[in-house]
Amino acid sequence: MSRQIVLDTETTGLSPENGDRIIEIGCVELLNRKLTGRNLHLYVNPERDSDEGALKVHGISNEFLRDKPKFAAIANELLDYLGGAELIIHNAPFDIGFLNKELERLNRGRMSDHVAGVIDSLAMAKEMFPGKRNSLDALCGRLEVDNSGRTLHGALLDAELLADVYINMTRGQDALGIDLGGQSDNDVHRVSVPVVDLSTFTLQACRATDAERLAHDALLADLDKASKGKTVWRRHEPLAPAATA
């Protein structure tokens, strides 16, 4: 059974090395790519105030955090919940850097000692949508995930949105497993699929219009520019015919 945890944090600032701390952790559980509802949401007393810029992002006041538990008090609960799972994080180096620093203070190793691995959904998005904006809000809009309730960053809300985004980004990976009536993965190979004789169909060829060809060429040029000339089709374009005497 594949267990994944979509994780997000909010922090007092941008640099754990300069003393910034975690103030909120939101986790959403996926089992075999399906939401279980077994989520984890924690507020943490960072033992320092948030930077002005961070306050504008998450809106969590210093006063609100004063009576919340310190990271040392929630570490066991968090690690027990995450234990052995694969993490999905948007811009993973940021959150992992903060988590590693918190664990270092407690002599509890690093996150890699406790989880099966980490998927960076931002890196995935950059590969899927080169040259495009790939913030969580941008991906929600592109993949039709409703983020209308997101006025400020919140760890649990952002993790819930990212879970939907990730499932949509990787939808093709489980296409054969969709709508199988609750059958287990072991039953997939026994699903009866009707055979269709394509020879009984007359397939009509629809040729692109001049406008469609121009739009297609422009899109390929944009992708080629965004990847700095590394697109496969440019390496396999037919050579122009040699001039004849």
Known catalytic residues are 153
- What's the CA gap between 225 and 129, in Å, rounded? 13
Contact indicator for 29, 38 with CB cutoff of 8 Å? yes
Q: Which of helix, strand or coil describes residue 233? A: helix
- In Å, how far from its chain's centre is CA 61? 27
Asked if residue 37 lies in contact with residue 24, where contact means CB atoms within 8 angstroms, the answer is no
CB 139 within 8 A of CB 122: no
| Nearby residues of 48 by Cβ (< 8 Å), 6 or more positions away | 12, 19, 20, 21
CB atoms within 10 A of CB 117: 10
Structure token digits, residue 54 = 């961070």
